[in-house]
Structure 1
């Protein structure tokens, strides 16, 4: 008999087993240890009280991780991963998990429910659509490894001034775009940085990013989460190029440079990154469901 429990009612071993079984034969390797699982719960602000696990008897066979944040006075939920063990797929377990998690969202007064799905995972996307989710955007994980020519982002203007702030300060920035994918919101970018570009003391753009260091303190990679420009700027590409040049510097350094769920609608950044030699690693759809319509 299949039952569904809150993650808070289960052991960590059961939760990790449910996750690893649920994402067996997945499009990417997302298997986790207990330590990695705990780190992700904290990093992404996922809640054991809002997350659920499906059991067949005492065996964990499926999982949905969830979190809720308040943005502009509205509650936004994120499905941070739906997985079902291979031998139970196609038997309605995913459907039952979604029914249960949406009921939890309603209890919590959620206004908007969001999730991501690998664009190749058509079965999952169709299932989410049946539950009222709509594709709102496409998200790109782009990668470039090694050194880069210093001019790869073009001959942009250099008249901007730059300041750095902490991610937690981003909501105070008038041009900050908060209704983005969960993992690109400032809350998820722990230990990240924000570079602001200004033109005559007017903030015209920003980049939210994180530099990664090895155990010896050596800079090994940089991940870009957002690169946005204020509206009605005629120099949109110049601002974007200047920010990319700054955050990925030094370009001659042999490191890994990537993006995390960069919005495909950000045509300026995407175009410049492709021209600079970045390659698409993964593409996802960002889906949204307006709960208030029910």
Structure 2
């Protein structure tokens, strides 16, 4: 077995990390691209801290990693696995388990109470590795994508609502519209961390009541949150919000990542707009206290 060395990363390791990331994900189920700018955006959005991220090295070469985001999840201090990768040459040595053995004492010392991640449902080696570490599946998630020109965005909505950008999102009101909760990457904290990337639009009634909203990332076209108040559904408000977001998105496609499978009205809405199922994931959680 190679002589693996483990260490926590620093900002200086990010260029090498990107190269290892691309090598580790070259044979992945879904093609992965990660430019320097995309890595920077990912670090910001997912709360990734190099000092809590682990690198596995053979000599001076990084051959594996766990990217760790820190924050709060459902009211508890949480570590989010923003990506685990091992280059093909060094698989089969339980590196994921070894990296977690290295990481968990530091997380516990820092007051972290649980770890969370998402994994593609067909990726059985990864699921087995995470279960061995102690993770359990908490929910099933679906990811959707469509080219902007393929979206079915219907007729203009009624004049009952106006849509405009807001710089002071009213998260308390918005969350009362939710059918299911968002994943880590789409959580309120992720949007707050991504000030330069995220945009939030509100739909307001004639009485200026907020009746719906959309939060999305302009550069990559990922919609973090879209919801309409219960009494206002079926009036084209969600579609009007999505249409306005599409105009502002720079990417050629729109994506909805990690929609909980119990959110049936959202899932049928997305299918009705011609968004195709991209992949399905499990969310997994591990208490560490």
Normalised by the size of structure 1, how large is the TM-score?
0.78
Normalised by the size of structure 2, how large is the TM-score?
0.80
Of residues 166, 183, 186, the one that matches 2:185 is 183
1:51 Cα deviation from its structure 2 partner: 0.3
Alignment-derived partner of residue 154 in structure 2? 151
Alignment-derived partner of residue 89 in structure 1? 91
Of residues 225, 247, 263, the one that matches 2:260 is 263
Deviations 1:148-194, CA, capped at 9 Å, x for gaps? 45538xx987645555323x735454626696322112443433222
Runs of at least 5 residues in structure 2 that lack an aligned partner in the other structure: none
Deviations 1:252-287, CA, capped at 9 Å, x for gaps? 999533223333332212101112211112222222
Over aligned residues, Cα RMSD in angstroms? 3.3
1:50 and 1:156 mapped to 2: Cα distance?
Answer: 47
Runs of at least 5 residues in structure 1 that lack an aligned partner in the other structure: 213-220
Alignment-derived partner of residue 227 in structure 1? 226
1:31 and 1:194 mapped to 2: Cα distance?
Answer: 26
Judging changes above 3 Å, is the alpha-carbon distance between structure 1 residues 38 and 222 closer, same or farther for their aligned structure 2 residues?
A: closer
2:246 and 2:75 mapped to 1: Cα distance?
Answer: 40
Secondary structure of the 1:238 match is coil
Alignment-derived partner of residue 165 in structure 2? 164
Tell me the number of residue pairs that the alignment of Structure 1 and Structure 2 aligns. 277
- Retained in 2: the 8 A contact 1:147–1:251? no
1:252 and 1:195 mapped to 2: Cα distance?
Answer: 12
Deviations 1:79-118, CA, capped at 9 Å, x for gaps? 0000111122121111111222233221221123211111
Alignment of 1:1-294 (within 5 A): 1-8=3-10, 11-70=13-72, 74-145=76-147, 146-151=149-154, 159-160=160-161, 162=163, 164-166=165-167, 169-173=169-173, 175=175, 180-189=182-191, 190=194, 191-197=197-203, 202-212=209-219, 222-229=221-228, 233=230, 237-238=233-234, 241-249=236-244, 256-292=253-289
1:234 Cα deviation from its structure 2 partner: 5.5
